[in-house]
Chains A and B, each alone.
Chain A
Amino acid sequence: MGYRVDHERMNGILAELSEKYRVYGPAFDAQKKRVQYREIRRIEQIVYDRQSDFSPKAAYYPVSQVMFYFREDRADDSELQDDREILVFARSCDIHASRRLDDIFLKNGDAEDLFYRRLREKVRFVLMECGEGYENCFCVSLGTNRTEDYALAVRFGGDGLLIDVRDEAFAPYFAEAPEEEFTVRFVTENRKKLRIPEISRGNLRQVSKLEYWKQFDDRCIACGGCNTVCGTCACFDTVDVVYHEGSREGERRRVWSGCMLEDFTRTAGGAVSRKTHGANMRFKVLHKFYDYWDRFGAEHMCVGCGRCDIRCPKEISFFDTVCGLHDEIGKL
């Protein structure tokens, strides 16, 4: 069922929703001068006419998360501070990205990850229509341009919104809004068309040894910005915080990490498995375009949002890197 909802009505609905849901959307951060996800209260906060600089993953996989508290002689589980469900305004590619994180946190290994599970199972998506798509997108090449995994779909425009209620549980919130036929439109073509590298167990070693990777030894500065904005990067470090010096009381947190950082593979003894920025780039590209697929079997990990291309301070384009790899493999 479709509805037309003006901003005033939508803000009333958001207020009503906030009793049961924390609502996250892409909002402009004036200090950091970027669009990133935060809890929103008014619909006007949502930046809808451009891509957000960060993915929505922070809504259910926070940058920093307490796993447990150390007491003198025991460790106690952290509890959720907020029991409400979570509603996330997201693009189709970002909704696909959440499934990639599910594979790592819920399916990899024998056990599920508690901290991820307890937030993720609360998440419902509000699909934001993408219009014609954006400059750096290549979702169509990866099949992430369409999704059916949403509770609501929304088209922004003018002083109001068109809303498609897919999950009937949300219908009562819109009962007083005027009905209007609305079918969400998906992007069907991007300006950027990805040339997906053909990698197999047979050529993996050859691909890894390509001279191609060496260009990144100097070009990449290992800032990890690409990992941070990526909706599919799941890696983390653990960090202990002690409340006062000399005490054994404190907490262990996990914080986002990234394979492009120099210490990512450094062991306590100082051994570093991947020693160059080029080796890290190879690892990241092959993870997103071979390893994940090899392990989980259906899709590539990258969802083609293109955020890492915007984020990179050295103007390294992941899109160009992957296309370039495709061409290099063609020459083998």
Chain B
Amino acid sequence: MSQTDNIMRPEPHRILKITHETQAEFTFRVEFSRPSRFGQFCMLSIPKVGEAPISISGTGEDWVEFTIRKVGRLTEGVFELREGSTIFLRGPYGKPWPVEETFAGAEQSLVVISGGTGLAPVRTTLNWFYAHPEQIRTLYLIAGFKDAGGALYNEERERWAQAEHFRTVYTLDDTEAPGFEKGMVTAHIGKIPFASFGENYHVAIVGPPPMMHFSALECLKHGVPEEKIWVSYERKMQCAVGKCGHCKINETYVCLEGPVFHYPKAKTLFD
């Protein structure tokens, strides 16, 4: 008998805490002791409902968090769970944001541009730099939401906004609300003082595909070289280990080579 492991079998994990971020988005804190890296994801599942890839949006010593938007069959099932319930998961999977190896540095700046729930996969990165001011010169965050009701992580965003080494723009697509600017994230990219960074910066973009596409183009328009940009993709996945075929773009498997891609590679991927 071969020693091959059952890579598709998830393990049960206890839900420690559920935070209502918005009406449609909850954060689930789940008991979890395996190491994970910035921007990786797990396959979450509930018997009967199914399985889907969800980004890790928070980490602690013995837990991870997932911010889940109530949009599909799986996520609706997740919303019926309570603290103390069990959820099945496997992972983490995927290539992470290169935070410590590339983004960090006393002379470096980092520009993070997120759209909607796209803030979830960069939340661990933002919190790490928040806790380690010596690891970055300035962190610029442009976080866009559809409307104020859809804005995630209110308390953390407040803390980030007040941190000395953070510069934040929170923006709503087409409504006005206190504490928010108006307009798509792309409308605010021009405010980033790219020219003052010299060579010492990187850009991380994550959100819906059109938002990432146009944000990257806007950065390029402002003179950002392609190799400074990183993006993170969300695709349908049924295995997350390179077998099921759903996430494949050209010859690339997003579960194996992504979800985080360096832009020079990402721009070669197309549907």
A interface with B by C-beta (< 8 Å):
67-68, 70, 73-75, 77, 104-105, 108-118, 121, 201, 204-205, 208, 234-240, 242, 248-250, 252, 254, 257, 259, 264-271, 273-274, 279, 283, 286-287, 290-292, 294-295
Contacts and interface: CB of A to CB of B under 8 A. Distances in A.
> Which secondary structure dominates chain A's binding surface?
mixed
B235 interface: yes
Contact of B6 (A77, A242, A257, A290): A77
Contacts of B123: none
A276 B6 CA distance: 35
A73 B52 CA distance: 19
Contacts, number: 158
Interface in B232-254: 234-236, 238-239, 241-246, 248-251, 253
B4 A235 contact: no
A290 B251 CA distance: 8
A112 B239 CA distance: 12
Contacts of A68: 6, 8-9
B49 A111 contact: no
Contacts of A274: 271
Interface residues of B, number: 49
Contacts of A105: 243
B251 A265 contact: no
B244 A235 contact: yes
A39 to B, nearest CB: 22
Contact of B238 (A236, A242, A283, A292): A236
B11 interface: yes
Interface string B27-55: 00000000000000000010111111000
A254 B243 CA distance: 11
B243 A208 contact: no
B73 A250 contact: no
A74 B12 contact: yes
A317 B117 CA distance: 43
B9 A73 contact: no
A273 B235 contact: yes
B193 interface: no
A267 B72 contact: yes
- Most chain A CB atoms below 10 A, which of B50, B86, B251: B251
